[in-house]
Every structure is written in C-alpha cells, then in structure tokens.
C-alpha cells in the first residue's frame, strides 16, 4: 500500500514534494515535457508503469493544476501541461543533468530496456544528416529474446516512426549491437566509432548513413553533460 500521507510541513520544498515525489510522477512529467500528449505515448516512455497507475498519476497531476486534459477534434483525450507544469521544465532537466554528472554510469547501465531506448532514439533523432528520401534503419540486438531483438526506425519527410515489426521497406542500414553498447552511446558515455572499433557495434549498408550515425542518432538530451568524479 502506497503511503500518501503528507509531510506536515509548511516549507515549499515539502509542499512540492507531496505532489512530485510519488513514484513515477517526475517521469510522467518528463514525458509530457518531451511532447507526449496521448496516454499511449506517455506510457511508451514509462513501459514498466502499469496503465492503472499511470491513469492515477495523470489524475493527481490534473488535480494539482499541473496537467490539463483536452478532447481533440477526433474525441481523443490529450494531456497538456499547464503554466505550472511548464514551470517544472528547468527542475526536471536539472535532475537529469545532476544524474548525468554524478550517478555512476555502471549503475545506469544496469537498467537496460530496448523499447524505452528505441522510443527515446525515435523522438530525438535528427533527420538532417540523412539522405532526402525514405530511410529505414534496422537495429538488431542479438542477445535479446527473438521477439525483442529487431527494431526499425523509418525516417520519411522529416518524420520518424518506430516499428517493432518489419515495416516491409528495404533496409538502408543494419545496426547490430549489444543493448548495453547502444544504451551507452545514447547516454553519451561512448561514441559510435569507439564501439565500432571495439567490435561491439557493426554497421552494414549505406556507407554515408553509417558514417553520419553519430550525427543523426537521437541521443539523450543530457548526453553532452560532462560526468564528474566524486
């Protein structure tokens, strides 16, 4: 049973913590700050969170005035941050930058999840270095169960789609890697060329797309932050 009791303090830190420090809440806010507006899109960013708990957290955020719901022209409910929610942007980003600077990378790399990694890569991918045509990039993680080994990013007219099944297009680049290596690249802990040189990543297909991978790959927004040693 989750303890929902308050801290019983008038301090603004305590009052804000009563809203934001419930399990998963800051990650739900992170997804909304990243542009997710629909329930299923938010859920793709928190794949280990149950739908029931996500619904509960969204309702709590709405009651707190952080989220407002809108029904679009198609009758689909969308979740949007209020002014109070947008005001959380520097706070959530600050937590991320602190984690990138100070949390031991070996601890971070214990939390491997291909669906979350690929979803984050999809929404941060930069189409500019890619050829002006539809590009299909397949990622293969050989160590995973067959149902989770293959993922496809399809980039067309600046739009990026993520597929967990073969979309049926000719593959322009096949990236074969361990999930740990791709996660480390995404987090900014290493570079594509280092992992290729070490034999942990192989690139087969269009050489121009392969050479530009570090530029088009959707890295973590915190990847450029320099890690610090305590």
* 96-116 pLDDT per residue, tens: 999 988 887 776 677 789 999
Residue 169: pLDDT over 80:
yes
Closest CA to 201 of 175, 219, 180, 183: 175
pTM for this model (two decimals): 0.83
Residue 145: pLDDT over 70:
yes
In this prediction, residue 3 carries a pLDDT of: 47
In this prediction, residue 229 carries a pLDDT of: 63
Better-predicted residue by pLDDT, 213 or 73: 213
Domains with residue ranges and CATH for the chain: 12-87 (1.10.10.10), 107-216 (3.30.1050.10)
Q: What is the pLDDT of residues 174-209, one digit of tens each?
A: 999 999 999 999 999 999 999 999 999 999 999 999
Q: Rounded distance, CA 54 to CA 60, Å?
A: 10
User: Which two tokens mark 133?
Assistant: 């045509």
Residue 146: pLDDT over 90:
yes
Residue 4: pLDDT over 90:
no
Residue 140: pLDDT over 90:
yes
User: Which two tokens mark 9?
Assistant: 């303090």
Confidence tier at 10 by pLDDT (50, 70, 90): confident
User: Which two tokens mark 63?
Assistant: 């009651």
Q: Are 137 and 153 in contact (CB under 8 A)?
A: yes
DSSP string, 117-161: HHHHHHHH---TTS-SS-EEEEEE-TTS-HHHHEEEEEEETTEEE
Mean pLDDT of 21-35: 95
Mean pLDDT of the chain: 92
Closest CA to 43 of 119, 109, 98, 101: 119
């Amino acid at each position: 049973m989750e303890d929902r009791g308050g801290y019983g303090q008038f301090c603004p830190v305590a009052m804000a913590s009563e809203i934001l420090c419930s399990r998963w809440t800051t990650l739900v806010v992170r997804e909304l700050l990243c542009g997710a507006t629909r329930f299923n899109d938010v859920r793709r960013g928190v794949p280990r969170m149950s739908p029931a708990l996500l619904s509960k957290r969204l309702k709590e955020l709405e009651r707190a005035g952080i989220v407002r719901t809108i029904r679009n022209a198609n009758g689909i409910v969308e979740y949007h941050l209020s002014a109070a929610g947008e005001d959380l942007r520097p706070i959530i980003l600050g937590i991320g930058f602190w984690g990138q600077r100070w949390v031991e990378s070996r601890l971070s790399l214990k939390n491997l999840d291909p669906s979350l990694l690929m979803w984050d890569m999809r929404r941060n991918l930069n189409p500019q270095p890619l050829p002006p045509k539809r590009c299909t990039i397949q990622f293969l993680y050989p160590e995973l169960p067959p149902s989770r080994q293959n993922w496809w990013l399809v980039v067309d007219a600046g739009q990026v789609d993520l597929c967990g099944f073969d979309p049926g297009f000719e593959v322009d680049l096949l990236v074969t890697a361990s999930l740990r290596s791709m996660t480390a690249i995404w987090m900014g802990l290493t570079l594509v060329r280092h992992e290729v040189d070490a034999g942990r990543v192989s690139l087969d297909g269009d050489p121009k797309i392969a050479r530009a991978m570090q530029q088009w790959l959707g890295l973590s927004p915190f990847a450029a932050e320099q890690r610090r040693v305590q």
